[in-house]
Structure 1
Amino acid sequence: MIDKTTLKQEADKLFASTSYEVLWGSPAGEFFTSEKIGSLSLKEGQKLIKFEKTETKELNANDTIAKIKAVTSLEALKEFEGDERKSVKSVYDWKQKQLTEAINVVGAKTVGTAPAVAGNGNTDTDTKK
């Protein structure tokens, strides 16, 4: 038997990947698009649980842009990757460039020469053994 919380999580995954608006979950963890069909799989005393798709409200462009500007890592920025609105996309690209440049080492250069290294990865000490 699967608890209601786990069933809800699985129902949400199904809603995200399908066009169903309502699903019926059984205690065995099965989902049905029809209550009548689902009830046929139940044992005596069991009930189906009804799950309805909830719409996620999309932020308006200004709110999304404000959230993008507040992001401090490329990982957190990924949340906004799929937003195709022009104004949001341009701020996303700007923030991604800004965060990437902060990671790159700027002005790094080699000073002097590196010591000779023998084939085994140890510094060649020539006469010292």
Structure 2
Amino acid sequence: MLDRVEATVPALQAAGDAAQAASERMREQADGAEQRILALSEAAKGHAVKHISGYAAQAMRHARDAEVVRMSAAARAVFRQELAATLRQQTRDRSGGLALTWKALLGSHLAACAAASIATWASMTF
């Protein structure tokens, strides 16, 4: 029996050495895997940041476009109100009757425009 035990000692020694070598290889592979996992997590962070940034930029463009539409509508409404009030005031005399017709108002504006053009031309020429 002692012979059999002595015969198994080298086999056990070889198995222990093989287990030690396998453990070292596993440790090296684990270190390499840790580095790959860190690289993958950094890449995933970068991808997530790009995705969030793109989504935020898209949301900002959408909000800007919606605000431009709202501001344009508000400006048109104010312009219409002010223009209507000004035209009513310009076309009525103090007694409440029509002082100027549309044609007369348009004619006076055209005459003023023509006079301004002639004056500009004259000042540039002479």
With normalisation by structure 2, the TM-score equals 0.27
Question: Which structure is higher in strand share?
Answer: 1
Question: Which structure is higher in helix share?
Answer: 2
Q: Radius of gyration: which is bigger?
A: 2
Structure of higher RCO (CA pairs closer than 8 Å, 6+ residues apart)? 1
